[in-house]
Structure 1
């Protein structure tokens, strides 16, 4: 029987592997069957994840994986940048065992890049940052980074990141190389550039007004006519004062 901690951890791992997409529904009954446990334990796990900003709950619809907004995406990457650069800046020289563990992780990343399991590749690329924090000796921040990495994975799925997985692996190799030779300043700069490149690869277009057409349709008649006259070129035939409602303005499509 799985504990609430096990359930929460498995959900985070599934997100890191891109097997749970933003907006995925997490039914309590289905999870209790999958993990052979009570709904109380499932609810405890989901409440932990909600406190970390990874899932959200609706009183009528249930539990869902979050769908981060543009501002939340920016904040998540800013948080990761501060945590990871700070970890490296304050790091003591790494011993051979820690470097060996990181090298083994990089070996697994390279093997995953040659394979066809995209989930395994995604998981390892995200888990590198958690592994690095553990090797730098801060388990508390490693747990925090696991949560932030899960959120940035959701952001990458939601906003269709174009960052190349092979480039991520190369960045990781360069960071470990710098740490191994004791060049903390270079490692910090490489980490900053790496996180910046991952963030820059997101297709974060300016958010659109989801009710623009409804807003226009329900504007006072005089205001609409004035707006149409202002946008009508000289000599052009003005638009009719009222236009037929478009299907997109149906309220059901906006809820």
Structure 2
């Protein structure tokens, strides 16, 4: 893959993982070409790669845009994560000391971000724990798969997660690492299954984003001086964000 296209792909995926790009965001080819100083061909190459990874789509009307997973796609994504991440732990026979040290350090950084109120860092760190776990255990293929799934579930959480559960998620991570340190990998796998299940259970899968939210805001009476026609609200839930606009995993 061309290095320029790879840089664009990585920049967009990293921004999604950090919760900086909303579901449905349009990714104009020309704007990205100007931003990265490359041709539209390179941008298109990056977009096609991201499409195969399940985080962007293209349509004749909208061009390239970040996916907006449906409720059914959300259920499938979390089911897949549970199978893969519990399976990863079940397949491990022994956890090297350096892996445990790395995971403990990651959890400690999570805790610090939560205690200091660093919402931006904690959201990114909580999602990254799962990627870091696979990477620390040395399975590159599973690391890539889990990274893509985590990006997708980040977008899902931005659409459907009504509450923040950073503290609970970090405690779950701590318990998983403690079970690994004790050599009880069966318990670690069960705790991982429960953790992902709790995150999924915290989603309101009846919520749907309001596709007219932007236009509705522009046409709201408060935007104009004098009288303006009222713009009715559709029965829908707003995107659920933490104070930084980032979901908690």
If the length of structure 2 is used for normalisation, what is the TM-score? 0.80
The residue aligned with 2:102 is 101
Q: 1:44 to 1:128 in 2, by over 3 A?
A: same
CA-CA distance at 1:86 after TM superposition: 0.4
**Which whole-Å CA distance do the structure 2 matches of 1:22 and 1:85 have between them?**
27
**Which whole-Å CA distance do the structure 2 matches of 1:101 and 1:170 have between them?**
17
| 1:159-198 correspondence to structure 2 within 5 Å | 159-198=160-199
**Which whole-Å CA distance do the structure 1 matches of 2:194 and 2:39 have between them?**
45
Gaps of 5+ in 1: 211-246, 250-255
| 1:29-178 correspondence to structure 2 within 5 Å | 29-178=30-179
Q: 1:115 to 1:206 in 2, by over 3 A?
A: closer
**Which whole-Å CA distance do the structure 2 matches of 1:59 and 1:110 have between them?**
45
**Which whole-Å CA distance do the structure 1 matches of 2:146 and 2:69 have between them?**
17
The residue aligned with 2:12 is 11
Task: State whether residues 163 and 197 of structure 1, in contact with CA within 8 Å, keep that contact through their aligned partners in structure 2.
Answer: no
Q: More deviation in 21-30 or 194-203?
A: 21-30
**Which whole-Å CA distance do the structure 2 matches of 1:248 and 1:175 have between them?**
44
The residue aligned with 1:228 is none
Match of 1:42, SS state, is helix
Match of 1:64, SS state, is strand
Gaps of 5+ in 2: 212-231, 235-249
Q: Highest CA radius of gyration, 1 or 2?
A: 1
- Select the structure with the greater relative contact order (CA < 8 A; seq sep ≥ 6): 2
Count of residue correspondences: 213
